[in-house]
Amino acid sequence: MQTIQPAVPERSKPFYRHLYFQVLVAIALGGAIGHYYPEMGQSLKPLGDAFIKLVKMVIAPVIFLTVVTGIAGMRDLEKVGRVAIKALLYFLVFSTLALIVGLIVANVVQPGAGMNIDPATLKAGKVAEYAAKAHDQSIVGFLMNVIPNTVVGAFAEGEILQVLLISILFGLSLTLVGEPGKPVVDLLELVAQAFFKFVHIVMKAAPIGAFGAFAFTIGKYGIHSVANLALLVGTFYLTSALFVIVVLGAVGLANGFSIFSLIRYLKAELLLVLGTSSSEAALPSLIEKLEKAGCPKSVVGLVVPLGYSFNLDGTNIYMTLAALFIAQATGVHLSWEEQALLLGVAMLSSKGAAGVTGAGFITLAATLSVVPSVPVAGMALILGVDRFMSECRALTNFTGNAVAAIVVSRWEKGLDVAAFKSALNPKKHPPAAPGGPVPEAARP
């Protein structure tokens, strides 16, 4: 899609000019200001909001251009359906596994045991807002929302799944048009190159956005707010880390790559997600980096946007872990049958509220509203620390989607192994010289 620059000049840049270093410094400064000057930290919120708005502004056109040019370039309609089915099956398996992991850890660690809180004493006013949003979500409503009222409206509202639907249909249409549609595809290729340059410009502001967002988080909620629920927060972070390292790490090894090499390759994007608590902030960069790493843009364009709604590993771990924490804290004993019901409801509600702002908390409310044994009011217990857990949810979701795109690319035998190894381990596998031969897509 875009011209891939050789990695050597990039590596020769001074460390302070790398995006990941600038974002890391920005997070540290933002945290310090939020901690020592809370009011000033809270006042910096517009910096983070403005950056996220800038990124969201380009997400819809980037997805459209990536998917359309990818599908039109495949010229194989069966492959489009095959990629989508493989991606959805992958999402179903690992999303369910994430829910089970959260359930097991909650039963073993029991972070809420011994708190003995009476639900009637909890202030559930703010929880009611999330419960109301959760009530509005349903599988049918979600599916209907995938279809936009107008083509322009989908782009105006920035609805990822609506834009993806339009992109797939338009890409298929161009494929059916055949040779006469090639000038349109060529034009969209050029527009895509311009938009990725646009993304590069926007990402220059990433340190400022991370600085403002993290300063606000620490300034408003304070590190001290974590102390009371440290076991829950710590358990969630540790569980998510183990899921990434053990589960996704095993998936990586089975598909010929190290999860640590992938994390190192995506370190700038992961730090950006950490600073802004939003995985969407790094979506355009993830698409670009996966393509540079040898994943076919047709696969990346389908898997990544779908994954942002259907492959929420971090959110799923959070849902079952938080639900059992509330049950334990309020003295509610859940039988294995009730926990199985909780798991089944969570599988459905996580899809029904996909793509909704604050989806983690909303899906938890939707799940608890169907499982009457656990009081919804108990969500007030974790409302204060939910912001701190949102970073971990976003990081886990982001990493899971990167792994999914690579795995589906390999299943499709479209992964350029030489480019992939060079991207993840540039010292061990130097990139081809500029103007040299481009390695063919290897079949693992």
The number of C-alpha atoms within 13 Å of 349 and in the hemisphere containing its C-beta is 29
DSSP label of 374: S
**pLDDT at position 11, please?**
52
Sign of the CA dihedral running 346, 348, 350, 353: negative
What is the token pair recorded at 326? 């509330």
Question: Distance of alpha carbon 148 from its chain centroid, rounded?
Answer: 23
**CA–CA dist 142, 145 (Å, integer):** 5
- The reported pLDDT for the residue numbered 379 is 78
**For residue range 145-199, what is the model confidence (pLDDT) as tens digits?**
778 888 888 888 877 778 888 988 998 888 888 888 889 988 998 998 898 888 8
CA angle 306, 367, 358 (to 5 degrees): 55
Distance separating alpha carbons of residues 379 and 432, to the nearest angstrom: 54
pLDDT value, residue 128: 54
- Tokens of residue 426, six digits: 């540039």
CA distance 84 to 167: 13
What's the confidence (pLDDT) of residue 172?
87
Pairwise CA distance, residues 101 & 233, whole Å: 16
Are 334 and 327 spatial neighbours (Cβ–Cβ below 8 Å)? yes
* Residue 161 neighbours by CB under 8 Å, 6+ apart: 145, 146, 305, 306, 309, 354, 355
Instruction: Identify how many contiguous H helices and E strands the chain contains and give both numbers.
Output: 24, 0
Contact 119, 326 (CB under 8 A): no
Q: Which of 186, 225, 185 is nearest to 388 (CA)?
A: 225
- Which has the closest alpha carbon to 239: 101, 363, 393, 361? 101
Q: Compute the distance between CA of residue 358 and CA of residue 7 in angstroms, rounded to an integer.
A: 37
Residue 258 phi, psi (nearest 5): -95, 135
What is the predicted pLDDT for the residue at 281?
80
Report the pLDDT value the prediction gives residue 150, as an integer from 0 to 100: 87
* Beta carbons of 341 and 294 less than 8 angstroms apart: no
Burial of 181 (0-12, 13-18, 19+ CB in 10 A): middle
Instruction: Render each residue's pLDDT in the chain as its tens digit; 444 residues.
Output: 444 444 444 456 676 777 778 888 888 898 899 889 989 989 998 998 888 888 888 888 888 888 888 888 776 677 778 888 899 899 989 989 999 999 999 999 888 777 777 666 665 555 555 555 555 555 566 667 778 888 888 888 877 778 888 988 998 888 888 888 889 988 998 998 898 888 888 888 888 988 988 888 888 877 766 666 788 888 999 999 999 999 999 999 999 999 999 999 999 889 888 888 777 788 888 988 999 999 988 889 888 888 887 888 888 898 889 888 888 888 888 888 888 888 887 777 666 444 444 566 667 777 777 777 777 777 777 776 777 788 888 899 999 999 999 999 999 888 889 899 988 888 776 765 544 444 434 443
Query: Looking at residue 349, what is its pLDDT?
Result: 67
Mind listing the domains of the chain with CATH numbers? 7-424 (1.10.3860.10)
CA distance 23 to 68: 32
Q: What are the structure tokens assigned to 208, written together?
A: 């400022």
